[in-house]
Structure 1
Amino acid sequence: MTFLALATAGLTALTLAPAPPAQFDFSDCPSLPAAADPAEWRCEVLVSQAKISFGRIGDLDLGTMRLTFAEGTLDGEYAQAFGALRDEPTRLPGLPGTSVRLRYAGYSDFQSSDQRKGAIDLTAAIEGPLLHPGCASTPIHSVLQADGPTEVISTGPLTLKFSTTDNQLTFPATTGCGPLGPLLDHRLGLPSAASYEQTSYVRLRSY
């Protein structure tokens, strides 16, 4: 089942929800495969606000993220193309001048089912004046579950709002951080179990 089909399944009435926290930006829509028919594809932009807990860090607001991907059919089969994940840096409490931001780690699958909303691999990039460039966690595999019903913001263009959670995350230790890496892991309590919750607005555009 496609992302949109599952998102709209079960909607019996138009439920107006608050406007999204930021403007939708389709500049990261990916190029389609050479054999793709643009009429059978659409670009989707998700503007999300999320919160994560891990190790010694609880309920850290991650600010606004923008995820862009395309989905359609290729040779008669469902297919996807990833665009970009853009995230703002978030200050880490108790670590002056140090921030974290989520980055795409090379895998995503947004075909929804009754068991999940989608899956993605992320890294948590950690930036600070005493840390080496490239300091980050090893990949975090997240499988997002729907948390409540989908709301319709608008039907022209179609804009939806929904919430997701992942309470089975593992937040691994960092790598590439330099001599302070072990101290950073100790301060953050890594590796550890983690939980993630997210509210997303999604808008679609044809190619």
Structure 2
Amino acid sequence: MNARPARRAAALAVGVALGTMAVPASAAVPSAAAREPLPPGLSFEDCPKLPAGADPSLWNCNVAVIAGGRLQVGRIDQAIVKPLRLTYALGYDPETLEQKSVVVPLKGDPIRVDGGVLGVPGTDVLPVLQVAAKPVLAAPPEFNVDAQTLLRLKLGIGVQNPLVGDRCSIGTGGDPVTLSLTVGTTRPPLPNKPITGSPPVDVASDPPTYKMTLVDNAFSAPRAGGCGPGSLFNGLVDWRSGLPARAGTNTAILVQYLTFKPYAGRTRVRR
């Protein structure tokens, strides 16, 4: 085998990222003991168009659905009760083997925050007292960052309430909430203690679908911004949310399902 085919073979061997981890279809990944219902959203309808000149044989469309877990930022500790979907193309340059990606924005409905504005369960019966949160990407995801960090997500958490308008956010492109997610064990500063994720197990074969738990409890969270006219309600959101929240006081536990399909096959792409 000459150098170029060998490099192509190597790229294909590692060319499937689980929104995190390279696991080809033939990899020896433990199977789930019993098949389970899959979450909605594991479809290829949003697969992006590849960059000009890309070799489809070195690219996959990946669909990751975060279908459970919790996100605790400051005083807000919210179960993930509605799925979030991240669709992205991941591939390699055939000459340099540099990893490249094309990412579609996160999709998902806002999640109503328990306790609303006052933070007391049962007090948010009126719309003006209700709060919903919706994570958005503040920057493109980073995959396989190092031996510990399989997925880095830089997020803005949109805060929705009749008083704060549609620009209120915890984290922005310049100062995001940065999750460095792992399936291993975290090393957070105190008072948090180490927590451990779970590696991928296959839960379906057509198309290949994996389930894993990604964790991070060593990240910080900035103050809110853009809340209300002239940012008048930034302080209210900070008070309700306990912001800023230093590293070691926040936790992300994300139960993720991921499927993939090669572009060289019949992947439907978005036009």
Q: Same fold (TM over 0.5)?
A: yes
1:181 aligns with 2:234: yes
Task: Indicate the residue corresponding to 2:209 in structure 1.
Answer: 159
Per-residue CA deviations over 1:13-47 (Å, capped at 9, x if unaligned) read 67544122214222221221112011211100011
1:74 aligns with 2:93: yes
Please state whether the residue corresponding to 1:186 is helix, strand or coil: helix
Code of the residue aligned with 2:139 in structure 1: it is G
Moved over 6 A (4+): none
Q: Residues 135 and 175 of structure 1 are in contact (CA less than 8 Å); yes or no, is this contact kept in structure 2?
A: yes
Per-residue CA deviations over 1:104-147 (Å, capped at 9, x if unaligned) read 11221123653122112110000110112211012111111101
Task: Indicate the residue corresponding to 2:268 in structure 1.
Answer: none
Code of the residue aligned with 1:140 in structure 2: it is V
Pair 1:112–1:55, CA change in 2 (3 A): closer
1:142 aligns with 2:163: no
* Matching of residues 1-207 of structure 1 within 5 Å: 3=17, 6-7=22-23, 11=29, 15-49=33-67, 50-76=69-95, 77=97, 78-95=99-116, 96-111=129-144, 113-138=146-171, 139-146=176-183, 147-178=197-228, 179-192=232-245, 193-207=249-263
Report the structure, 1 or 2, having the larger strand content. Answer: 1
Pair 1:172–1:62, CA change in 2 (3 A): farther
Q: Distance in 2 between matches of 1:14 and 1:194?
A: 30
**TM-score relative to the length of structure 2:** 0.70
Please state whether the residue corresponding to 2:136 is helix, strand or coil: strand
Q: Residues 216 and 253 of structure 2 are in contact (CA less than 8 Å); yes or no, is this contact kept in structure 1?
A: yes
Please state whether the residue corresponding to 1:20 is helix, strand or coil: coil
Q: Distance in 2 between matches of 1:25 and 1:11?
A: 22
Shift of the alpha carbon at 1:182? Answer: 0.5
Computing the radius of gyration from Cα coordinates, the structure with the larger value is 2
Root mean square deviation, CA, Å? 2.1
Q: Residues 45 and 204 of structure 1 are in contact (CA less than 8 Å); yes or no, is this contact kept in structure 2?
A: yes
Pair 1:55–1:32, CA change in 2 (3 A): same
- Structure 1 gaps, min length 5: none
Q: Distance in 2 between matches of 1:13 and 1:89?
A: 32
- How many residues align? The count is 207
Please state whether the residue corresponding to 1:161 is helix, strand or coil: strand
Please state whether the residue corresponding to 2:239 is helix, strand or coil: helix
Shift of the alpha carbon at 1:7? Answer: 4.0
Q: Residues 31 and 203 of structure 2 are in contact (CA less than 8 Å); yes or no, is this contact kept in structure 1?
A: no
**TM-score relative to the length of structure 1:** 0.89
Q: Residues 41 and 85 of structure 2 are in contact (CA less than 8 Å); yes or no, is this contact kept in structure 1?
A: no
Code of the residue aligned with 1:128 in structure 2: it is N
